[in-house]
């Protein structure tokens, strides 16, 4: 009784706050939890007319079809290799850049380099992909340099062997500067007296980097690494569908692009929703695994 | 404070500076190349090989073709509408959520935060989202680009943190004078949080300017296409044909190339021009986010 009157008083006094929350909750309900509910169609034979609830259940048929699909292994392999390339090359690149930027003595120069290196982050992927397609075309800029050195021009976009390198390296070009900001922020929060003490002990820049800077940014590195492992299967389709073509499907077709072709272009909704769900579930398992391993090994963790 | 550097460190410093100069060159050169190529004479650039350090000849024909192209101009207009409309919706919704959840005494506040954080980890994915938009009747309407991303949860959390850091004493006197939460938000909290709001405006606006994927999925009507989708057709699908109707057949291929470059410049120009002035705000935002973590 007493509690109820308290709630009533709170509802009256804070009515504006609760009113403000209404559109926010409605938004999350419709646009975030709506699609989660819609995932039910992964277990159904979805028909537009029947709706999500009315369509008949089919159990795990869609998943079974996907696992038996001749392209299943190719999709899984491509998704994992592209992510692995990114973990090996694109993940360390901003860390190395941040460490190198940290060694620059002239503040003005450092600021100019930073400003320039952030720029590609703000260019749309359509433009980046368009520039890549053009520069690496058979008669493009890169091939004119290749033939200047006396080699045969390379058909970069027709040979599947090149796709992963082009995809990952253009990602590094676009993201290296922006990615370094978070590490520079972590470096700026390292206690400067540590460096003074090391200098008195006779440690040079290299020793200082190795023993103070890198341990100082380790928590940030580990957390971002865990997040990266968690998104390994989530290789985005946005950039790949701009760059790939049937000739390079052999290495370029990943799970998300397959979902796009089957679902959006092919209107096979139940099946492609199931493929998407498979992707998310494996991603989530990877995230938990990475976090658990990191907790055991390094004591750094996401949660 | 002077500190004597060893020879190894001096050599390293030298290499480091060289590396940074190389990095800047690799970052900027693609844009410089495209700018010069777009200003070049189409026939000369078509037969040109190798790096470009000045325009080959000079011609503004490509820019004329781009500006006269109805698709590019419609795309530009649509993108401006989506950027302005979308960012206004983003700001309104994000501020409401951030303010309400930054207040100390709200029932179920932690539950609501959990509801929000869950969506940062789990999502329905592409197909259920598409079907939802379809069922809501928003397919092939601008709403499909404006509403689904109305709140970026990460931004909401950054904004909430900023609101929480404003001392309570500032609003207490207003409350004694009878101000309600709406007044406190619009008259006290928002004016005091302009730096963070500027960051939000920039992030949301750039996001809208650059996004193409939602438009690709949700829009069919070419009259609604944003600039990025028009760009995709021109750059990736190689369809400059409809822009070259005026050109004689022999020049068709040639001018096609410069049209591509001119389109890139025209569509990226606003960002390239505004970028140097705005970049400190962008970085400021990342710092706020990083401190939160």
For B237, which DSSP code?
A: S
Range of the domain at B192: 76-224
- pLDDT of amino acid B243: 52
B245 confidence band (pLDDT: 50, 70, 90): very low
Counting residues of chain B whose pLDDT is more than 90, the rounded percentage is 43
Residue A210 has pLDDT above 50, yes or no: yes
CB B188 within 8 A of CB B95: no
Q: Are residues B134 and B246 in the same domain?
A: no
B-contacting residues in A 12-51 (Cβ below 8 Å): 14, 16-18, 20-21, 23-25, 27-28, 30-39, 41, 46, 48, 51
Domain presence at residue B45? yes
The Cα-based distances of A220 to A96, A194, A274, A301 in angstroms read 14, 19, 34, 10
CB B61 within 8 A of CB B42: yes
Find, in chain A, the residue whose alpha carbon is nearest to that of B180: A16
Secondary structure element (H or E) that encloses residue B117, with its range = helix B109-121
- Domains of chain A and CATH, by start: 2-54 (no CATH), 61-298 (1.10.3720.10)
For A29, which DSSP code?
A: I
Burial of residue B249, with CB atoms counted within 10 A of its CB: 0-12 exposed, 13-18 middle, 19 or more buried = exposed
Q: Which residues are A125's β-sheet partners?
A: none
- Among A281-285, B193-197, B230-234, B276-280, which stretch is predicted with the lowest mean pLDDT? B276-280
Residue B225 has pLDDT above 90, yes or no: yes
Q: Are residues B118 and B181 in the same domain?
A: yes
- pLDDT of amino acid B61: 83
Counting residues of chain A whose pLDDT is more than 70, the rounded percentage is 99
Residue B228 has pLDDT above 80, yes or no: yes
Which pLDDT tens digit goes with each residue over B130-180?
Answer: 999 999 999 999 999 999 999 999 899 989 988 988 888 888 888 888 888
CATH code for the domain of B176: 1.10.3720.10
Q: Domain boundary residue among B224, B239, B262? A: B224
Residue B227 has pLDDT above 80, yes or no: yes
Query: Per this entry, what is the length of chain A?
Result: 303
Q: Are residues B220 and B232 in the same domain?
A: no
- pLDDT of amino acid B249: 44
Q: Domain boundary residue among B224, B250, B269? A: B224
Distance from CA of A70 to the nearest CA of B (A): 22
Residue B292 has pLDDT above 50, yes or no: no
B128:A39 CB<8 A: yes
A14 confidence band (pLDDT: 50, 70, 90): confident
Domain presence at residue B18? no
Domain presence at residue B142? yes
Helices (H) and strands (E) in chain B, counts: 15, 0
Q: Are residues B270 and B185 in the same domain?
A: no
Rg (CA), chain A: 25
- Mean predicted confidence (pLDDT) in B84-111: 92
- Among A130-144, A222-236, B72-86, B119-133, which stretch is predicted with the lowest mean pLDDT? A222-236
B290 confidence band (pLDDT: 50, 70, 90): low
Domain presence at residue B136? yes
Domain presence at residue B209? yes
User: Tokens 């975030």 belong to which residue?
Assistant: A32
Residue A110 has pLDDT above 60, yes or no: yes
Tell me the pLDDT of chain B averaged across its residues: 85
In order, the DSSP letters of B10-32 are HHHHHHHHHHHHHHHHHHHHHHH
Q: Would you put residue B76 in left (φ > 0), alpha (ψ -120 to 50) or beta?
A: alpha
Distance from CA of B2 to the nearest CA of A (A): 12
Contacts with B86 (C-beta within 8 Å, 6 or more apart), sequence order: B145, B146, B149, B204, B208
B239 confidence band (pLDDT: 50, 70, 90): low
B247 confidence band (pLDDT: 50, 70, 90): very low
- pLDDT of amino acid A21: 93
Which pLDDT tens digit goes with each residue over B187-209?
Answer: 889 998 888 898 899 889 989 99
Residue A59 has pLDDT above 70, yes or no: yes
Q: Are residues B210 and B88 in the same domain?
A: yes
For B104, which DSSP code?
A: S
Q: Are residues B181 and B117 in the same domain?
A: yes
- Mean predicted confidence (pLDDT) in A181-186: 89
Interface test with A, best of B3, B5, B116, B124 (most A CBs within 10 A): B124
Q: Are residues B89 and B208 in the same domain?
A: yes
Q: Are residues B92 and B183 in the same domain?
A: yes
- State how far the Cα of B41 lies from the Cα of A270, in Å rounded to an integer: 52
B-contacting residues in A 131-160 (Cβ below 8 Å): 131, 133-135, 141, 144-145, 147-148
Residue B251 has pLDDT above 90, yes or no: no
User: Tokens 């199931």 belong to which residue?
Assistant: A274
B236:A122 CB<8 A: no
- Mean predicted confidence (pLDDT) in A177-184: 90
Residue B265 has pLDDT above 50, yes or no: yes
Domain presence at residue B291? no
Domain presence at residue B207? yes
Q: How many domains is chain B partitioned into structurally?
A: 2
Q: Which residues are A57's β-sheet partners?
A: A44
Counting residues of chain A whose pLDDT is more than 90, the rounded percentage is 53
Of B129, B89, B90, B149, the C-alpha closest to B218 is B129
- Mean predicted confidence (pLDDT) in A198-217: 90
Residue A250 has pLDDT above 70, yes or no: yes
B55 confidence band (pLDDT: 50, 70, 90): confident
- State how far the Cα of A182 lies from the Cα of B286, in Å rounded to an integer: 7
Residue B94 has pLDDT above 80, yes or no: yes
- State how far the Cα of B107 lies from the Cα of B114, in Å rounded to an integer: 13
- State how far the Cα of A258 lies from the Cα of B126, in Å rounded to an integer: 11
Residue B248 has pLDDT above 80, yes or no: no
Residue A301 has pLDDT above 80, yes or no: no
B124:A38 CB<8 A: yes
Q: Are residues B111 and B207 in the same domain?
A: yes
Written as six digits, the tokens of B112 are 């609501």
- pLDDT of amino acid B240: 52
Domain presence at residue B8? no
Find, in chain B, the residue whose alpha carbon is nearest to that of A267: B127
- pLDDT of amino acid B145: 95
Q: What is the ipTM of this complex?
A: 0.87
B293 confidence band (pLDDT: 50, 70, 90): very low
Residue A65 has pLDDT above 90, yes or no: yes
- pLDDT of amino acid B246: 44
- pLDDT of amino acid B151: 96
Classified as helix, coil or strand, B293 is coil
Kindly provide the residue ranges of all beta strands, DSSP E only, lying in chain B, ordered along the sequence: none
- Among A59-68, A223-232, B32-41, B45-54, which stretch is predicted with the lowest mean pLDDT? B45-54
Q: Are residues B48 and B173 in the same domain?
A: no
Interface test with B, best of A62, A127, A223 (most B CBs within 10 A): A127
Q: Are residues B231 and B220 in the same domain?
A: no
- Among A291-295, B58-62, B239-243, which stretch is predicted with the lowest mean pLDDT? B239-243
Q: Are residues B207 and B93 in the same domain?
A: yes
Any B CB within 8 A of A224 CB: no
- Mean predicted confidence (pLDDT) in B14-37: 93
């Amino acid at each position: 009784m007493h509690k109820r009157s308290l709630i009533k008083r709170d509802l009256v006094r804070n009515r504006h706050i609760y009113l403000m929350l209404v559109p926010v909750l409605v938004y999350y309900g419709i646009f975030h939890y709506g699609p989660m509910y819609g995932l039910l169609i992964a277990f159904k034979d979805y028909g537009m007319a029947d709706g999500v609830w009315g369509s008949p259940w089919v159990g795990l048929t869609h998943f079974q079809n996907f696992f038996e699909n001749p392209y299943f292994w190719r999709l899984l392999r491509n998704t994992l290799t592209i992510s692995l390339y990114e973990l090996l090359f694109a993940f360390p690149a901003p860390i190395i850049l941040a460490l190198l930027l940290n060694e620059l003595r002239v503040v003005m120069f450092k600021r100019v380099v930073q400003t320039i290196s952030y720029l590609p982050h703000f260019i749309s992927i359509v433009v980046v992909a368009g520039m890549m397609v053009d520069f690496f075309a058979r008669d493009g800029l890169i091939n004119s340099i290749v033939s200047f050195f006396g080699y045969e021009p390379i058909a970069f976009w027709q040979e599947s062997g090149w796709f992963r390198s082009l995809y990952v390296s253009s990602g590094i070009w676009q993201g290296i500067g922006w990615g370094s900001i978070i590490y520079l922020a972590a470096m700026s929060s390292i206690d400067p007296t540590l460096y003074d003490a090391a200098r008195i002990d006779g440690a040079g820049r290299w020793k200082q980097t190795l023993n103070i800077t890198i341990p100082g940014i380790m928590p940030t590195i580990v957390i971002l690494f865990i997040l990266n492992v968690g998104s390994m299967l989530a290789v985005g389709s946005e950039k790949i569908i701009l760059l790939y073509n049937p000739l390079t499907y052999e290495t370029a077709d990943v799970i998300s692009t397959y979902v796009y072709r089957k679902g959006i272009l092919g209107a096979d909704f139940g099946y492609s929703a199931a493929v998407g769900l498979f992707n998310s579930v494996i991603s989530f398992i990877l995230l938990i695994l990475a976090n658990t391993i990191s907790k055991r090994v390094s004591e750094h963790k996401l949660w | 404070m002077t500190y004597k550097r060893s020879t190894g460190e001096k050599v390293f410093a030298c290499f480091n500076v060289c590396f940074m100069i190389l990095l800047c060159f690799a970052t900027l050169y693609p844009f410089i190349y495209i700018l010069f190529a777009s200003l070049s004479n189409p026939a000369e650039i078509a037969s040109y090989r190798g790096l470009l350090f000045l325009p080959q000849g000079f011609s503004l024909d490509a820019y004329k073709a781009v500006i006269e192209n109805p698709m590019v101009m419609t795309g530009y207009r649509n993108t401006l509408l989506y950027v302005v409309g979308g960012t206004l919706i983003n700001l309104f919704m994000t501020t409401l959520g951030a303010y309400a959840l930054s207040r100390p005494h709200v029932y179920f506040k932690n539950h609501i935060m959990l509801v929000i954080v869950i969506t940062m980890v789990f999502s329905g994915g592409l197909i259920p989202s598409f079907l939802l938009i379809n069922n809501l009747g928003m397919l092939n309407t601008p709403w499909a680009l404006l509403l689904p991303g109305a709140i970026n949860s990460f931004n909401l959390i950054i904004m909430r943190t900023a609101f929480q850091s404003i001392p309570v004493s500032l609003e207490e006197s207003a409350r004694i004078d009878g101000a309600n939460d709406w007044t406190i938000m619009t008259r006290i909290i928002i004016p005091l949080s302009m730096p963070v709001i500027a960051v939000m405006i920039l992030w949301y606006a750039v996001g809208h300017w650059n996004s193409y994927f939602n438009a690709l999925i949700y829009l069919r009507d070419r009259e609604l296409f944003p600039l990025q989708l028009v760009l995709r057709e021109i750059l990736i699908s190689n369809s400059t044909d409809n822009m070259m109707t005026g050109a004689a057949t022999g020049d068709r291929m040639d001018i096609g190339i410069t049209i591509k470059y001119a389109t890139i410049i025209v569509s990226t120009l606003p960002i390239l021009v505004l970028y140097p002035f705005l970049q400190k705000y962008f970085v400021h935002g990342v710092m706020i986010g990083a401190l939160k973590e």
